[in-house]
Amino acid sequence: MKFTKKIILFTLALNTEIFIKESMFSYVPYEFLYKHLALPKSSIRAGILELLKEGYIEKISRSTKQNLLKKKPFFKLNSLGKKQLNLFLPILFKPFSWDNKWWLVVILSTSKKEIKVKHFLEKKGYVCLQKKAYVGFSEVTKEVLLNGWGGMVFIASFTKFELWTNKEFVSRLWKLEEISARGVEIVGQGKSLLEKYQKEKGSLKQVKLEFFEWLKMAFLFLEGIPLLPKQLIPVEWPIERLKKVILQVSKRLSLLD
């Protein structure tokens, strides 16, 4: 999925606070997206049309207080859109409970499908151990078979490492210390931006662009983090703080005139 469509789904989700709590999806006009996204309006509209065709969002037309006679379009994320959002931003949703079983997937084929398999495994939170061997927390046998990859991979499960504890292994292989440090840095930058524009106004274009660049940075950072089992999440994990700052930035953008 193209970045523009991903960031539109992400922005529609900000309106519902679904990253922090379960809540109903609500309709928003184009103006909500224009305030959040420093992108050409034509690109936003094209992205909306594609998402509508693909079934990830819904549309209604209704009048507003400003103009009771003329109806305007409103859009909202639906359950299919939330599932799609969960695919590329799994870390934003609730961590899953783990059964302490590890899964090893070894890619045996050298066909063009190998890239698709690798991409699929990475999205599932798998990490490359060596060359074509991947290890992860969740079973992927059904998805592998449904995608027709059964003859090109070897899958096995195990429950114990001889050299490390589970937390040590995850911290080393998933580079959690680096991820945490980067998350803390982004949280700090977001807070500084909010404080900056509480003290000084700045031009509308400048404010919008700076907030959008920060949101884009936070989005790309989160997209690269695998979904970890709650038993293995580090104590100083900054993701919850980052969620809150993202919503604060969203609220600030919504107030722009």
Expressed in percent and rounded to 5, the helix, strand and coil fractions of the chain are 55, 15, 35
How far does Cα 179 stand from its chain's mean position?
15
Residues 8 and 82 in one domain: yes
91 contact partners, CB below 8 Å, separation of at least 6 = 222, 225, 226, 227, 228, 239
Mean pLDDT of the chain: 85
Residue with tokens 């959690």: 176
How far does Cα 240 stand from its chain's mean position?
13
Residues 82 and 107 in one domain: no
Contacts by residues 154-158 (CB-CB < 8 Å, ≥ 24 positions apart): 154/104, 154/105, 154/106, 154/108, 155/103, 155/104, 155/105, 155/106, 156/103, 156/104, 157/101, 157/102, 157/103, 157/104, 158/101, 158/102, 158/104
Of the pLDDT bands very low, low, confident and very high (cuts 50, 70, 90), residue 19 is low
Domain that holds residue 116: 102-158
257 contact partners, CB below 8 Å, separation of at least 6 = 204
132 contact partners, CB below 8 Å, separation of at least 6 = 106, 107, 108, 114
Domain membership of residue 140 (yes or no) is yes
| Overall number of domains in the chain | 3
Tokens of 66: 């400003």
Residues 228 and 152 in one domain: no
pLDDT tens digit sequence for 175-228: 888 999 999 999 999 999 999 888 766 677 888 889 999 999 999 999 888 777
CA angle 224, 158, 131 (to 5 degrees): 50
List the CATH number of the domain containing 75: 1.10.10.10
CB 139 within 8 A of CB 157: yes
- Give which of 186, 206, 185, 188 is closest to 197, Cα–Cα: 206
Lowest model confidence (mean pLDDT) among 109-113, 144-148, 192-196, 247-251: 109-113
pLDDT tens digit sequence for 129-139: 888 899 988 88
pLDDT of residue 125: 82
Domain membership of residue 94 (yes or no) is no
pLDDT tens digit sequence for 1-10: 889 999 999 9
Domain membership of residue 220 (yes or no) is yes
Residues 22 and 84 in one domain: yes
Residues 14 and 82 in one domain: yes
pLDDT of residue 46: 97
Residues 8 and 84 in one domain: yes
Contacts by residues 21-25 (CB-CB < 8 Å, ≥ 24 positions apart): 25/76, 25/77, 25/78, 25/82
Domain membership of residue 163 (yes or no) is no
Of the pLDDT bands very low, low, confident and very high (cuts 50, 70, 90), residue 68 is low
pLDDT of residue 164: 62
Tokens of 16: 């519902």
Residues 250 and 180 in one domain: yes
Name the domain boundary from 88, 120, 140: 88
List the CATH number of the domain containing 153: 3.30.70
Residues 185 and 123 in one domain: no
Average pLDDT over residues 229-238: 82
Alpha-carbon span 52 to 55, nearest angstrom: 5
Domain membership of residue 207 (yes or no) is yes
CB 73 within 8 A of CB 59: yes
Domain membership of residue 108 (yes or no) is yes
pLDDT of residue 251: 85
Domain membership of residue 39 (yes or no) is yes
Name the domain boundary from 88, 123, 141: 88
